[in-house]
Amino acid sequence: MVTAETIKTQLKALLVNRRGVDFELLYLYSPAFNHVHEFFTEDEVMSGYCIGPLTRDGKQVRSGNWLAISTNRQLILLHKALLNGLTHFEIPLADIDAVTSKLRWWSNIIKIRDKAVEWEMFQLNKTDLRFFELALNEAIAAQKK
């Protein structure tokens, strides 16, 4: 079973080359980080993350910020609300058909199309978007080999 400490170790390893990202602040900003370990299997490794509002086929899925975690096996979308509990979606990398992004001065966007749904995260930090998109595309390419 994967523990919360394992996830913290993986996240710290990801942040080694990311200047200006405070590890403790990430956990305060997105309480969903405390639940990531619940969706990991023993051999999964985190490759990237992104935080922002989420839409599913053009309709917002629960207001607030979502945490998207890319691993070597799946894409995990998590939302931890103050009163409503935890909402999550797990998308196997093999089911992802396309990943596209748009950089705009007012709202950076990433679109992820799987076999049935188009997911869109917006209002993303430019650096976070590039980091996450690269990690997700690399994970998908490695999965298809």
pLDDT (0 to 100) of residue 46: 94
Residues with Cβ < 8 Å from 115, sequence gap 6 or more? 95, 97
pLDDT(17) > 80 = no
Average model confidence (pLDDT) across the chain? 90
pTM: 0.91
pLDDT (0 to 100) of residue 97: 94
Q: Say which CATH number the domain at 131 has.
A: 2.30.29.30
Give the whole-angstrom CA distance, residue 136 versus residue 145.
15
Q: How many CB atoms lie within 10 A of CB 96?
A: 22
Residues with Cβ < 8 Å from 39, sequence gap 6 or more? 69, 76, 78, 88, 90
**Mean pLDDT on 11-18:** 83
- Please write the tens of the pLDDT for every residue from 83-108: 778 999 999 999 999 999 998 887 89
pLDDT (0 to 100) of residue 24: 80
Residue position matching structure tokens 């839409």:
55
- Please write the tens of the pLDDT for every residue from 52-87: 999 999 898 888 899 999 999 999 999 988 777 899
pLDDT (0 to 100) of residue 23: 75
pLDDT (0 to 100) of residue 76: 97
Instruction: Write out the residue range of the structural domain in which residue 25 sits.
Output: 4-144
**Domains: count for the chain:** 1
pLDDT (0 to 100) of residue 18: 75
**Mean pLDDT on 7-35:** 84
Residues with Cβ < 8 Å from 70, sequence gap 6 or more? 46, 47, 48, 49, 132, 135, 136, 139
pLDDT (0 to 100) of residue 7: 92
